[in-house]
Amino acid sequence: MTTLSVDELRAAVARELPGVRADLERLVRIPGIAFDGFDFTPLERSAEAVAELLRAEGLEVQISRIGEGHPAVIGKKAAPAGAPTVLLYAHHDVQPPGDMSQWRTDPFEPTEIDGRLYGRGAADDKAGVMAHIAALRAFGDQLPVGVVLFIEGEEEFGSASLEDLLKKHQSELTADVIVIADSANWDIGVPALTTSLRGIVNSFVTVEVLQSAVHSGMYGGAVPDALMVMSRLLATLHDERGDVAVAGLVSKPASPLDYPEDRFRSEAGILDGVDLIGTGRIVDRIWTRPAISILGIDAPGTEGAPNALIPKAKAKLSMRLAPGDDPKSAYEALKAHLTKFVPWNAKISFEFEHDGNACVIDATGKYFDAVRDAFKVAYNGADTVEVGIGGSIPFIATFQEMFPNASIMVTGVEDPMSGAHGPNESLHLGEFERVCLAETLLLRNVALA
């Protein structure tokens, strides 16, 4: 199979970049959010916009959904005779913008400042969508592999219909190599392959003590209030050192990679003097051990709070699970822990939101060699680092089960300063060009492998 040369592809990516950037900005302007309570019409527009971009590259495109689920875009171009097929994954939905007062620019108006493009989804994961399209454009009509693009529309809200979507389209999605452009590089200029991700269980816990609010002077001292109960209860989730105290969760050692504490502190933006929690190496704590975070509490606000005992409080908890743990049994372990430790026999109840499996990837074989070679060229000789990710892409475990023979490469456009999910999310534009080139060369190397 003849294919364009590395130099031709390098020039082609440089030529395509301005158009790719313009289309990325167009996508960032569409606030497609799959969280309950949001207007879902932008997700339709964003699916249509992605579909249009894929049609323009000569792919056969369909927008697919399961029931009330959000629209995924599937685009396909058959492989030249004898060539492998590569499935390219990204998601077009984004996280909600969160506290608008924290954004320095409009989250849905892409803005370049000092070499970074700011906007919700500019990195996670609209840049992933556009990296795939950049590679298609670089090859034009000389694509040396078959491709199938799968651009999901509800990744950030737990991928509820993903498994059914994959089943529905299983034959169309079958591929030799899967490239998931939804992760992060180790540093700017240092490419990474992600080889482990944590699982997740999101749920709610509610505690109740009274039929309704009563005078805090008349009853306080003998009747507990719901926030007191909730505070004590949540405090039992971690031990004195900050390690998770729920029994029955899996913990493993992470890769030998060193994540220096000062670098970690500065990337996290933790305030001077505030301690880290947990024990052991940082990569163990964030990649291969459980974490429990309290994402929110429903209770009266402080402003105008009357002198009354609060009858009821609700908290949202997010558990991250080590590879090898099972979300269903971990959720049972969490409920058993909370039921055991709820103080003063307060009434306790639970509500499940969503979960997803962790995964581990064995990054060996000819296709992984092909990707390492591609990255080395795109990153001017830098070696690829194998990293874990504390976040979750539940989709990957599902893919591993359904396509056990495919090599799954988890790559991405994020860097430690991208601030995904927070205010002022941004994409490093220099890194984005390297990612586009890396993916283009990856397709070339897969064809030659």
| Interface residue with ligand BES, options 85, 161, 392, 445 (CB under 6 A) | 392
Closest CA to 250 of 203, 283, 287: 287
Closest CA to 427 of 435, 48, 85, 135: 435
> What is the H or E stretch that residue 127 is in?
helix 126-139
Phi, psi of 181 (to 5 degrees): -95, 70
Nearer to ligand BES, 8 or 326 (CB): 326
Nearest residue relative to ligand BES (C-beta): 391
Which part of the chain contacts Mn ion (CB under 5 A), choosing from 55-63, 99-107, 174-182, 357-365? Answer: 174-182
**One symbol per residue from 336 to 375: x for binding ligand BES (CB under 6 A), - otherwise; what is it?**
--------------------x-------------------
In angstroms, the CA 77 to CA 146 distance is: 6
Beta bridge partners of 414: 184
Which part of the chain contacts ligand BES (CB under 6 A), choosing from 172-180, 307-315, 323-331, 386-394? Answer: 386-394
User: 414 touches which of ligand BES, Mn ion, none (CB within 5 to 8 A by kind)?
Assistant: ligand BES
Hey, what amino acid is at 157?
Answer: F
**Helix, strand or coil, per DSSP, at residue 308:** strand
In angstroms, the CA 299 to CA 352 distance is: 19
> What is the H or E stretch that residue 196 is in?
strand 192-197
**One symbol per residue from 176 to 215: x for binding Mn ion (CB under 5 A), - otherwise; what is it?**
------x---------------------------------
Are the C-beta atoms of 415 and 185 separated by less than 8 Å?
yes
Position 393 contacts ligand BES (CB under 6 A): yes
User: 394 touches which of Mn ion, ligand BES, none (CB within 5 to 8 A by kind)?
Assistant: ligand BES
Q: How far is CA 357 from CA 87, 165, 391, 399, in A?
A: 20, 17, 11, 11
Which part of the chain contacts Mn ion (CB under 5 A), choosing from 116-124, 168-176, 341-349, 376-384? Answer: 116-124
Site residues for ligand BES, 132-161, by CB under 6 A, read 155-156, 158
Q: Give the tokens for residue 270.
A: 């933790």
CB of 94 to ligand BES, least distance (A): 9
CB of 286 to ligand BES, least distance (A): 10
Nearer to ligand BES, 20 or 200 (CB): 200
Position 389 contacts ligand BES (CB under 6 A): yes
Write out 357-388 in H/E/C secondary structure. Answer: CCEECCCCCHHHHHHHHHHHHHCCCCCCEEEE
Chain residues in the site for ligand BES (CB under 6 A): 124-125, 155-156, 158, 182-184, 200, 356, 389, 391-394, 414
Chain residues in the site for Mn ion (CB under 5 A): 124-125, 182
